[in-house]
Amino acid sequence: MSENDYDRRSDLPSPSPDSETTFRRREPKPGTVLIVDDNMDDVQLARHALGKLFPQLCTRAVLSGEEFVSYLDGRNGYADRKAFPYPILVLLDIKMSGMSGFDVLHWLREHPPHHYIPVIVLTVSGETELVKRAYALGARSFLTKPLRALDLANAVSSLEDWLELVRAPILLGSR
């Protein structure tokens, strides 16, 4: 995928205060968004969109559910929290080989304090049953791929108030 594809597909709104976009301009405080997706093109697209919309957010990516668990637990090379900060938000592909997005959501539920991390599920389609199952397992929102920047901005912005409420428990759970 070329850089031009990212520019064309991301559909980025203007960052100016008088922008005619429909999402709230109150931006989240600095923190790390962890992208969990086995498709590197989708990872790059999400990073590009997040970087343009919320430059104060740091992004990190892992390519599997197993790697996600290691990241959160600070194992297998992820112990340095300066290099691999504990995330305030997770963008999670639901259909991955190995440990699926559903498996990740189930793992999060079973492992406090990690279950406080808000998760936005990414799906190729908005299949109703997949979405219901993801919500039942604790997902806070879902977006369809390919990501549209405006949809991503709306989802992240709508979670900001919730993020503020859980920031303290998340920080207490980080190592």
Cis peptide before 87 (omega within 30 of 0): no
- Is 91:122 a contact under the CB 8 Å cutoff? yes
Q: Is the pTM of this model over 0.75?
A: no
Residue that wins the pLDDT comparison between 89 and 147: 89
Q: Domain spanning 29-162 has what CATH number?
A: 3.40.50.2300
pLDDT digits (tens, 9 = 90+) for 9-53: 334 444 444 444 444 445 556 889 999 999 998 899 889 888 887
Measure the CA–CA gap between 50 and 97, rounded to whole angstroms.
25
Measure the CA–CA gap between 118 and 32, rounded to whole angstroms.
12
Structure letter (DSSP) for residue 11: -
- Closest Cα partner for 122 from 98, 159, 148, 157? 148
In degrees, rounded to 5, the angle at the alpha carbon of residue 120 between the alpha carbons of residues 67 and 69 is 20
Measure the CA–CA gap between 44 and 147, rounded to whole angstroms.
11
**Both tokens assigned to 165:** 């409420």
Measure the CA–CA gap between 9 and 53, rounded to whole angstroms.
14
pLDDT digits (tens, 9 = 90+) for 108-139: 999 988 988 999 998 877 788 888 999 999 99
Map residue 142 onto helix, strand or coil. strand
Give the count of beta carbons closer than 10 Å to the beta carbon of residue 75. Answer: 10
Residue that wins the pLDDT comparison between 31 and 163: 31
Q: State the DSSP H helix or E strand holding residue 164, giving kind and residue range, or none if neither.
A: helix 160-173
Measure the CA–CA gap between 22 and 10, rounded to whole angstroms.
16
